[in-house]
Structures are given as C-alpha cells and as structure tokens.
Structure 1
Amino acid sequence: MKILLVEDNELNRDMLSRRLKRKGFTVLSATNGQEGIDVAISENPDIILMDLSLPV
C-alpha cells in the first residue's frame, strides 16, 4: 500500500515515515500543500495523511 505523507514539520515527517516503512508501507513525502497535490496526481497513492495546517 502506498501512503502519501504531507507534513511541513521535518521531525514529524521523518518519524512517521520511518514508522510506516517499518510496517511495510511504501511512503511518499511532501512538505507543503502544492507539493502534496503534485505527488498525489503523479503517484496515485492509496492513502493521504495530511497536516491540517499546512502552508500552500
């Protein structure tokens, strides 16, 4: 399963990404809303986990 993680805080992004990878997920990352949209369109993830207060 492919998960897109959209998080601007580097520590949170890295910690959650490592945990998800250890559980066997493929993890894609984005650091802002626009990058998240671009990755979602190009990679078609199964799930998107997103910070609710992201810069665009």
Structure 2
Amino acid sequence: MTARAKPCPICKKPREAEFAPFCSERCRDRDLAQWFSDGYAVPGQPANPEDLAREE
C-alpha cells in the first residue's frame, strides 16, 4: 500500500516541497494572514484581563 501525500490545506492542490505543507507561496501567505487576523485560534481557557494586567 502506498501512502498518498496530503494536499495543500488551503486550496487542496498537490503540495510542493519548497512551500510544504502548502502548494505555493500564495497559499502559505494566506495561511499566515489567517493567523494574524485571528482567523485561527488555539483552544484554551479565555484570558482574564485583570490577570493579564497584574502580570505586567
């Protein structure tokens, strides 16, 4: 049985080694933009603003 390579997570085209795990610079940049604009989030407990102020 041969393992199939996973497609680009953004556009589903075949991955390119140079941009892995994406297919192109465009898809890599789109993914980065999602992180910068809070399009993605890491699950966890909501931060309490009062606790954050005390840490500073």
Normalising by structure 1, we get a TM-score of 0.31
Q: Which is bigger in relative contact order (C-alpha 8 A, separation at least 6)?
A: 1
Of the two, which has the highest radius of gyration?
A: 2
- Write 1 or 2 for the structure with the bigger share of strand: 1
